[in-house]
Amino acid sequence: MNNGFEPNIIGFLCNWCAYTGADLAGVARMKVPSSLRVIRVMCSGRIDPLFVIKAFLKGADGVMMMGCHPGDCHYQKGNFSARRRFMLLRTILDNLALEPERLGLWWVSASEGQRYSRVAEEFANKIKNLGPSPVRGEIFL
């Protein structure tokens, strides 16, 4: 099923927790999938639902949203908004049968390099099994 399919996964990581956690994973030489392309945002609350939709329409096979654990947000409440927006996106994708499994939200703190490595690998494998996004190659978008 895989056929050496390398997915394109976009990750929106908050600067203070998730991105630092990812950095830590890198420094500690933990295994991180090369298919994950990271976009740093200052807070997970910055993740506009349109970013996620645009990523999928441009052919991303998977999208990850990552931020601080609830209660630990550097800006106090950004991640609470992110959580609600994630629920909105998932509901829309689900309702339109657009494979909501391709979108995920994880709370990863600055010290959780190990966790970052694990969730990224797990997600990349999940996407590999799902196969390429059916949106790829659609011309009439």
Q: Contact residues for another protein (CB under 8 A)?
A: 49-50, 53-54, 57, 59, 69-71, 77, 80-81, 83-89, 91-92, 94-99, 105-107, 119, 134-135, 137-141
* DSSP assignment of 102-135: GEEEEE--TT-HHHHHHHHHHHHHHHHHH-S-TT
CB of 57 within 8 A of CB of 93? no
Q: Which is nearer to another protein, 37 or 54 (CB)?
A: 54
Q: Which of 90, 41, 31 is nearest to 68 (CA)?
A: 41
Work out how close the CB of 69 gets to another protein at its nearest, in angstroms, rounded to a whole number: 8
Q: Which is nearer to another protein, 37 or 77 (CB)?
A: 77
Work out how close the CB of 55 gets to another protein at its nearest, in angstroms, rounded to a whole number: 11
Work out how close the CB of 47 gets to another protein at its nearest, in angstroms, rounded to a whole number: 12
Q: Which is nearer to another protein, 27 or 125 (CB)?
A: 125
Work out how close the CB of 116 gets to another protein at its nearest, in angstroms, rounded to a whole number: 13
Q: Which is nearer to another protein, 26 or 70 (CB)?
A: 70
Structure-derived torsion over alpha carbons of residues 92, 94, 96, 102, reported in degrees to the nearest 10:
90
C-alpha distances in angstroms, 11 versus 52, 66, 95, 140, 141?
Answer: 10, 7, 23, 26, 23
